[in-house]
Structure 1
Amino acid sequence: MSGDVQLVEDLVARFPILEDSYSAHVFNEDGVLPHVFFWDFVQDVVNSFVLQDPDAVDWRSVLVFLEDQLCKGIPEVNEVICTSFLWYLPHCGDPGYGLVAHLGPAMTCKFQEIRPRG
């Protein structure tokens, strides 16, 4: 199994609230497409942050999980986190941009590399 697919499966195992979204994704895509899955996942995380919904995915724990994954240095995992999570976070002035201030050190560094203007 490729590292990026393993990332999605580990993410869903760690956050069971994502199981329905994952199942729908696998059904619709006829398999796991990590970058496509992450598009919806980013929206879920940002909405959780903005709405502070206790029944949504725990955005704080998600950031810790992704930070840990990024620090492992697996190229295909880092690519998904950088291009399909960090890149799609809200821009300055958009609802949810404050989430960026909660990124761990490795994700902050990558975020600044790929989006130097925020």
Structure 2
Amino acid sequence: MQQHSRPQTDAPPTAGEQLVHDLLAHVPAFRAAYESHVFRQGGVLPHVFFWDVVQGTVRSFLAEETEPDWRRTLDFLEEQIRRGDAAVDEVIVTSFLGDLPSPHEPGHAIVGQLGPIMSARYDRIRPRA
């Protein structure tokens, strides 16, 4: 049974949808979260799906789960933000960096592991004291 992330059309995926598909290829451990997301949402909504990406990444960082590997996720997102695609950047900045734990929350130390571009973008949206 083939599942589609959006209604069957000839239109290519949006940049955000492509980001999600590329993430799944790079970090397959997000597949179950993706399938659940598509079932619940009736398609892929990149900004909504990235809430699951943040949660899985932080759990991995805190060693609560070994997969999805937080290092692979951060490396992938750094590589994607380096491309300079505004639509991709919007998803990463708004729905990943913007949803990382605050200083008083468990897992905030992951901010110190961000690559240079994501770290700079994080500092712009959430200045560190």
TM-score bracket for the superposition, by shorter chain length:
over 0.9
TM superposition score normalised by structure 1: 0.94
Question: 1:47 aligns to what?
Answer: 59
Aligned AA for 1:102? Q
| The one of 74, 78, 83 aligned to 2:94 | 83
User: Aligned partners of 2:64 and 2:112: how far apart in 1?
Assistant: 16
1:9 aligns to 2:21 (yes or no): yes
1:74 aligns to 2:85 (yes or no): yes
Higher helix proportion (structure 1 or 2): 1
Aligned AA for 2:50? F
Q: Residue 70 of structure 1: CA displacement?
A: 0.3
User: Aligned partners of 1:17 and 1:61: how far apart in 2?
Assistant: 11
Aligned AA for 1:96? G
Identity %: 48
- Cα RMSD between the aligned structures? 1.2
User: Aligned partners of 1:11 and 1:101: how far apart in 2?
Assistant: 21
Structure showing greater Rg: 2
Shift in CA distance, 61/25, structure 1 to aligned 2, threshold 3 Å: same
User: Aligned partners of 1:31 and 1:52: how far apart in 2?
Assistant: 29
Q: Residue 52 of structure 1: CA displacement?
A: 5.4
Aligned AA for 2:52? D
User: Aligned partners of 1:61 and 1:52: how far apart in 2?
Assistant: 16
1:106 aligns to 2:127 (yes or no): no
Unpaired segments ≥5 residues, structure 1: none
TM superposition score normalised by structure 2: 0.86
Question: 2:73 aligns to what?
Answer: 62
